[in-house]
Structure 1
Amino acid sequence: MGAMTLVRPPAPKLEPRDLIVREGPFTVAERDAIPDNGYRHELLDGLLLMTPAPLPPHQDVVGSLYVRMRAAVPRELKVYLAPFDVYLDDRNVLEPDLLVTRRSDVKRRGLFTAPLLAVEMISPSTRSYDLGPKMEILAAAGCPSYWTIDPKVPELTAWTLREGRYVEEARVAAQETWTATEPFPVAITPTELLDL
């Protein structure tokens, strides 16, 4: 008997800048079983959303925000960058671009409760998800604060959870400085987040 050869089916061809949406419903187990293909995999109410690696302006803003927040975070809290899984239930696993959570809530595989703050960088391909289903899912899970940043403008919008819905707390223009009070005090000027 000859040696067996394992033949793998060809990987699907993915265009490097495509946002891929797969109708489901998918479960967390199915999402977790997807092999690494260079895309971030999020599950929004059973819908599989795959996003490619971010572009440099996105990374500049996220990295600068992380450094600023990491310098100000109190000891009992942690700041994380994507990819970092937030498991909310069997149909929802999110990977915010940046999040803040209680140190005591972090588990080996990620977070199994809503963060205290989720931050998303707005891009043309993800805008409708970041300002739609992701906001709704995080609000339903009880995430107290949600920020969106448009690196092209640049502009930061801070949302606060009130009576189960996000309401706009602040819209911070490029040169303005805003001091967040939750989940901890930190001053942010959108243009300073760009690597100019």
Structure 2
Amino acid sequence: MTGMTLMPRTGEEWTVDDLDLLPDDGLQYELLDGLLLVSPAPAPLHQRVITRLLVLLHAACPPGYEVLPAPLDWRPDTRTSLQPDLLIARNEDVGEHHVTAPLALAVEVLSPATRRKDQVLKRSKYEDAGVRSYWIVDPAEPSLLALDLTDGSYSTTAHVSGTERAVLEGPFPVEVVPADLVRPAP
């Protein structure tokens, strides 16, 4: 997991209570089944993609749902606290400090430091915890892999790259063109 640090711990596993005691030092701290994951701050391209997706999803979002960017903790249990780059949750599921209910959508934008974490570790946790839709965006290609939960497992609903258009229904209708997400502002 290049660029990502696993914090050693002797004795007990990490919990969300331990996570709340860590400093606000510009690093991203996440917890996955008791294992602390630490990632560096994202690069401008990563943030550009998140911003474009946030605007796109916000415009298509129906009443009763919210589109929110990281850092916002999703805590499905006491041993997990993940921060998807973007998440969509029902309004009533958004708490004062974090979200605990299964998400309607989690979006991760890949970077060299987070690629394996997003494609393997987070994907598995989101699937196991009932996150209905999971999108993985790769700005280097650029591409979008959209997955929807069917009978407890993720199945691919779209896999597009460049100027190809993904017409997605989950969690609500929206169209995404990966190349549009990486272009600098005019």
Q: Structure 1: which amino acid aligns with 2:101?
A: T
Aligned to 1:142: 130
Runs of 4+ in 1 over 6 A off after TM superposition: none
Q: Structure 2: which amino acid aligns with 1:112?
A: T
Aligned to 2:15: 27
Aligned match of 1:61 in 30, 49, 54? Answer: 49
Unaligned runs of 5+ in 2: none
Aligned to 2:29: 41
What is the TM-score of this pair, normalised by structure 2? 0.92
Q: Structure 2: which amino acid aligns with 1:104?
A: E
Q: Give the alignment's Cα RMSD to 1 decimal.
A: 1.3
- Conserved 8 A contact 1:136-1:165: no
Matches within 5 A, 1:27-176: 27-176=15-164
**Greater gyration radius:** 1
Q: Distance in 1 between matches of 2:105 and 2:3?
A: 27
Aligned to 1:182: 170
Give the CA deviation at 1:27.
0.9
- Conserved 8 A contact 2:158-2:168: no
- Conserved 8 A contact 1:40-1:53: yes
Q: Percent identity?
A: 40
Residues 108-131 of structure 1, C-alpha deviation per residue, up to 9 Å, x if partnerless?
A: 011011211000011222111111
Q: Distance in 1 between matches of 2:61 and 2:120?
A: 28
Question: How many positions carry a matched residue from both structures?
Answer: 180
Unaligned runs of 5+ in 1: 1-16
Partner SS, residue 182 of structure 1: coil
Change (3 A) 1:129 1:41: same
Give the CA deviation at 1:135.
1.0
Residues 70-120 of structure 1, C-alpha deviation per residue, up to 9 Å, x if partnerless?
A: 111011110000001101101110100001110111110110112110000
